[in-house]
Amino acid sequence: MSAIGLGGAVAWQAEAAGPAQPAPVGAGPGGLAVAGPPALAALPAGAAVPTGTALAARLDQIVQGPAGTQIAAAVTDVATGRLVYGRSQTLLMPPASTIKIATAVAALERMPGTTRFATTVVQAPGTDRIVLVGGGDVTLSSNGASPDPDFQPTLLQTLVDQTAAALKAAGRTSVSVGYDDSAFAAPAQAASWSSSYTNGDIAPVHALEVDEGRTDPLSTYSAREPNPALSAAQLFAQRLAADGITVTGAVTATAAPTEATAAAAPGRTTPAGSAKPLARVFSPPLDELIDHMLTVSDDDVAEALGHLTARAAGQPASFTGATTSTAAELQQLGLGPDAVQLYDNSGLSHQDRITPAGLTTLLTQVAGPGHPELRDIVGGLPIAGFTGTLGTRFTGPASAGVGLVRAKTGTLTGVNTEAGLVEDADGRLLAFAVMATGAADAEGQLDQFAAALAGCGCR
């Protein structure tokens, strides 16, 4: 079963799926193995765990920084869960976008990877008003474009066409249009965010958005609409008119009929005289949303997933509910307040904190055999020199890591972070996190750190 957002409630959709299977080991660019239980069970003969002394000899020189720079790091052997290298590994550091790993973990601990989120159109009986209801799919697209070639968003036009067809079949050619984005609660921006973020980093967080609120859908860092829900509904109304349905009056916020939400639950029939959904489309599944979020570091998806995790946990779908719910899921995996402190789910807040050891703990859970529900996260981590935010990195002294490192990056003013997975020269799968503050640009150092692990037997 998978949760589907509809109005202010959570409805459910049955998914046709067989028994859960462990993720296969697949070769990526450069021969990178996708971590999974088979890989852990097939360590090469003599694949000794690297020693702290040998790792320190190789890594300490890389993480030296100029005055005013602070670098903390941790390396954990995935098969044993043992910390094999640490440098201020329990120090709370700003994670920037590496916190999206935690967002992904919390979402998959609370919801199945097959979960899809609905955008719905309903009409109350006896009225000519239809209501566009957002369920948290901020990737709903006006044109199908995406900066991630492996991600295919759902098209707004599909919902428009379904709606126009349903209205024409009922003999209705004129309607007024409202919208309901009450599935997410105010405020639409975290209190600790810079006001400049909506100039290109992220839209105000609403349960109804098209193109993640971009004013230019084809520009990744386009300025964002001040009210993405209203803009989405206005575009829906314009396209509905182009499909031959006359739209009267202004598009306004309207509470969706509650009966329509109740009737969407399985095993229930629509009460006599209540509203019926005219049309509905679903987001890509949660595991694909997570892959996309991690690959291109999508802040809008991260915040939507935080809010949706809160709803699934029975908490308010707000920033407070999202961070509280995420922290609760992480605590179940061993990360308490001494290891992680959240103010958002994207890492845009300079107040977020996590320890390097906390990140490697999460990555060990992701890649190890104990939590197969988290395995999809591995596939979303960018591959050094090939995909996502690592596509143009690992050059020069770090080039030995090309194709061998999977990692999530993080960048804020004065903050550079990197956390991921790498197989060393002996075949041990290692989880690493390296985090720097105070440097103008420490990306090269972080890449060298990961590349050094890839080439290390270090016994």
Active site residues: 97, 100, 297
Residue type for position 428: R
Beta carbons within 10 angstroms of residue 42's beta carbon: 11
Q: Which residue has the tokens 């291109």?
A: 296
Q: Of 393, 390, 167, 185, whose CA–CA distance to 295 is shortest?
A: 390
C-alpha–C-alpha distance, residues 287 and 325, integer Å:
19
Task: For the chain, state the CA radius of gyration.
Answer: 23
Contact yes or no for 12/266 (Cβ under 8 A): yes
Contact yes or no for 409/432 (Cβ under 8 A): no
With a CB cutoff of 8 Å and minimum separation 6, the contacts of 82 are 49, 76
Distances (CA, A) of 15 to 12, 128, 154, 375: 9, 33, 18, 19
Residue 187: cis peptide before it, omega within 30 degrees of 0: yes
Contact yes or no for 107/127 (Cβ under 8 A): no
